[in-house]
Chains A and B, each alone.
Chain A
Amino acid sequence: MSAAVHRYLLIAITGLPLGAFLVLAVLAWWGRRWAERTISTVVTLAFGLATVSALVLAGVMACGGERVLTVSAGTWSSPGEYRFDLLLVGDRLSISFAVLTALLACIIGVFSQRYLHREPGYLRFYLLLTLFGAGVEVVALAGDLDLLFVGWELAGLTSALLISFFHERRKPVEHALRAFLTYRACDVGLLAAVVWLHHTTGTSTAGGTAGFAAPAATGNAVLIGVLLLWASMGKAAQVPLGGWLPRAMEGPTPSSAIFYGAISVSLGPYLLLRTESIWAGAPAVRIAIGVVGALTVVHVALVGRVQTDIKSALAYASMTQVGLILVEIGLGLRYLALAHLVAHAGLRSVQILRSPSLIHDYHHLERAMNRPLPRTGAHLERLVPGPAQGWLYRYALERGYFDAWLRDHVIGGFVRLVRRADSLDDRWAQRLSAGRAPARTGLADRREAVTAGHGGSPGTRRKGQES
């Protein structure tokens, strides 16, 4: 088959969802409103065709014996000697992931037509789903880390917006913000890696079967590898950044399924697989990846065991498997990792989609077994000595105290620092404007009022602790 067909198929995989999004979004911007069926049909059709394109392309390439297909969809910009190409690469890895994404998005599109029927945010949901799908396809197929970064950001933004889908309540918004901040913090890693890659190798483009060019110096490779690992840790919800994942279960169930069961958490491992050529030469990075994955598995296996709501339990189950995938990547088992990733995405999506039927299923299970379901966790209690059990349980219930550390000691520390600077600022302003009463606006305001009220003899009253 001709190269032109290949080219169009490859572009169609990302182009169709993107096109569907643009059509819907632009017309909606102009106040156009459609029937629910029209919206979901457009989106489903786009992803369905993208799936077909990807499958056809995979078939054609397999028959033709081609391993890598590189297509340039144009040039972004070329400042100075640099060129930013819109380069798409189709190889075994990227096409598998592209098929997975398009297929799941298509299925979720069909599913949500019933699930979100009569929901006021119907259009918004589909727009975000489409943009997310398009973003992930860009990540999957990007032959250029700059382009990958764009897709990466789109996926992050849309997933945060979908967490806050029910924005009339407070919690979804808070949790979306948390996910968003985690993403932002980690995206710095990706950005830095891209910049450093440009700096050291002069290009961030994948070339042929070799993949991305690795920097000559091992030190640079390690640095870039670690930055990429950092970038992937946020999306893959690895220790210690994984706190956002169970909290992300705020949107409608189908969005939770595709994002946090399947695609979004897989982006982390995918990034590492994609960029393997860069850090493959640096064993330190391998070890780091393996260690992060293993730590996550240990932590999450414990924490997940005490979760009492089904969506959190499934979120931790996802983290467990993604941690294992990272370990596999660290060990260099890339095909195993890819298979694991795909299988996990399918299984977890089904489980999350089925989660509202849990009570129904539990009854059926009980009736099928014809006895009360056996108690789980007994072997844990046998293995772990008594006092340690309580400690371990509390550790798990408090999710490893990561949240508290993050809130009180990392962010809290920062806030306290700012406050101190603020009161220092006040004091200096007072001293400089000696005599004239300055307008105090700082946070220290209230404290002063209280001190003044006490007439300078403050004292706490904590009876309970004294007795």
Chain B
Amino acid sequence: MRFHFKTSYDHDIRLFPDWWTFFVYGALLAVMVALPFLMDSFFLSEVTNVMIWAVAGLGLMLLTGTTGQVSLGHSAFMALGCYLCANLMFAGLPFLIAFPLAGILTGLIGALIAVPVLRLHGVYLAIATLALAIITEDLIVILRQWTGGVNGMFAPDIMIFGTEVNRWVNPEYWYYMTLAIVVIVTLIYVNLLRSPLGRAFAAVRDSEVSAQAMGIDVSRTKTIAFGLSCGITGLGGALMGFFAGAFNNETFTFLLAIQLLMMIVVGGMGFIHGAFLGAIVIAFLPQGLSIVTDNVRVLNIPGLEFGAFGAILIFFIIFEPMGLYGRWLKIRTWFELFPFARRDMFRRQKSYLKTERVR
């Protein structure tokens, strides 16, 4: 068991609380960098896919996990990021400029949308964002001048410093590009959580009333959270569209937004690790299921993927609301405190619900 002796105030907000954590994450990064030499291109593109889902999931995690606002409409912002990036590149901007610019623009538009939408609470917010996602599906068809409508659009070639990054020609370049983006986004996220703004996010999530009492401008904080979240998700959407190579209105349906939400629930709501663990589950679930159905013919039913996904989610919501990362935390605590860990340490407290309709 490790003890943190805090000898200065900076210890509380260090990026890595001790050398051991630094070493663990350094080792993880080293493994990730070495991965293209260890794996063939099929698995490499699977890992790339996981990382792309993780970027989009980090965006939603910032809003739902950290700030506590549920969105069922993040597919809208994935679409926005993707089409913005493609259109900026068609306008002649290089990928290295178009990609961050698409993220920033998506974030700004998201923040604009957030101003009216975030006055809503809980369920109302979920419904409004769901409507947003559905409207976006139709808007993609209507605005065919920029989106290609139902026929969709082919992603332009990505050139970075004169080298073409193509999924089929050089998958390891795609992998490294995604890895770099994931690392940057994760660093932004971690640093955000250490900043006053990140603390304000968490305060708003835990209690709006007490956050207000601490002098936090709740609506401003929520708007910034929404904007940042949309920006990051937009980057994820751009990566997803470009990775697929072609995208149309059916790439970004509202089911994608629901999948994204479920992904962070399975991974572990409110933890950065949760976005990654959830991404692993969601990216490998179809493969895992197809292996199962190949061996067990009886299970070969159309629609099994969503059914299994729903069942997994129900299981998690009821038995492990903290998700996979929460399970890991419990296991780790058990070992760290051995033999003093008690089952009730993580028990959900009994609570009673009150109406939101009487304020």
Chains A and B belong together in one complex: no
List the interface of chain B (C-beta within 8 A of A). none
